[in-house]
Amino acid sequence: MEVVVIGAGFAGACTAWLLRERFGSRARITILEQAPAPGGMLRTFRTPNGLPYEYGPRVVSVFRGTPEALPFLRRFLRLQERQVYQGTRLRAEYPAIPFPVDRESLAQLPCGAAIAREVAAIEAAGRPPRDGSLRDYLESSVGPTLTELAFAGFNRKFWGRRLEDMPADWGRLRRLDRVAERGDFRLPSVAPHYYPDGGFEPLFAQLLDGFDVRYGVTVTALAQDGPRALTVATDAGALHADLVVATGPIDDLLGHRFGALEWRGYRVEAEEVATSDGALLGRAPDGVPFAWLYTPWAETPVCRTTSFGVIHHGGDHEGPSVVLREIVDDGVRMYPVWWEDDRFRRYLRAAAEIPGLVPLGRLGLYKYVTIDSTYAMALRFVEA
């Protein structure tokens, strides 16, 4: 069986490794990667002085309830457990508080009394959140003050949409009406969080060991070549395959026949810091430093700031490290948007009509996926 895997990010590398483990030499696998190095969004970079930082996922987390991913990753990485707390600063002049926000922390802010009055009035009325727009839903569940501070600016900045232009289902699906009395602070997950000792580079060195990986190769077209065969055209020549696993953007792969899918994303700015205080971004009420901090107000282009002193070393870190700022950039493909569902389904149906073509991963399936859900996706495919 001739297999071509498009993309040497985690989805492509993991799928290729699992195919070889299951089928051995019966699966002759070629991996094509447009970039000069593997990893995709799962990359560890370094500053000119050699300080590391992660471009995409900061840590390994079991967000989607697939703990089987952890023993798989431990074949290749030494995972160090981390307490990952995330915070938010609702205005530039406000102190940092935990995110998701909780009433006890909100009460410490200048706007705390107004939020408390609005929430008390909503609870006294006893009515469910309103349907209609996301603004309707939020204002009728957490009040107008918290709606404006925590959601309105961020949505305009990151998603490019006003709350009035987004459906109430967006908030209902994410349970944005829930504000705990007191937060538990840790990033919500069904399992602990881990940092891979030495970053993510050793993972790809081992996953891709022994494969025919061709870097700097761009796929230009995909054509059916008989009832059970495909031709993958590239800028370096054509390959023939019985099976093509495509982890690149599905709209690119199919020639944008239905138009380009819209994405949201960010570019990053890394700054080296030398500090004697590991809590650069503030602390949760139990004293644990925030690993990253959201900045939802519209006047700053920064969406989130990460302290890699906390991520890499855990707790307080007194040596030099990196602070990374995420700046909104619509040209970066990271997060799919809900208003492209119809267009994506047209692409998915078109892909399903090509025997032997299997789109996978975040870009291939236009879906927000994490490391554990990507592993589960690859495993289900290989088993099928």
Distance CA 143, CA 47 (A): 43
Residue 306 host element (H or E):
strand 302-307
pLDDT digit string (tens) for 238-248? Answer: 999 999 999 99
What pLDDT, on a 0 to 100 scale, did the predictor assign at position 308? 93
Task: Give whichever of 189-203, 217-231, 353-367 has the largest mean pLDDT.
Answer: 353-367
Helix (H, G, I), strand (E, B) or coil at 299: coil
CB 283 within 8 A of CB 75: no
Task: Give whichever of 11-15, 122-126, 182-186, 331-335 has the largest mean pLDDT.
Answer: 11-15
Helix (H, G, I), strand (E, B) or coil at 226: coil
pLDDT at 258 > cutoff 90 = yes
What pLDDT, on a 0 to 100 scale, did the predictor assign at position 276? 61
**How many CB atoms are closer than 10 A to CB 246?**
29
Quick one: average pLDDT of 286-304? 92
Distance CA 342, CA 24 (A): 39
pLDDT digit string (tens) for 308-346? Answer: 999 998 877 778 999 999 999 988 999 999 899 999 999
User: In terms of pTM, does the model score above 0.75?
Assistant: yes
pLDDT at 21 > cutoff 90 = yes
What rounded mean pLDDT belongs to the chain? 92
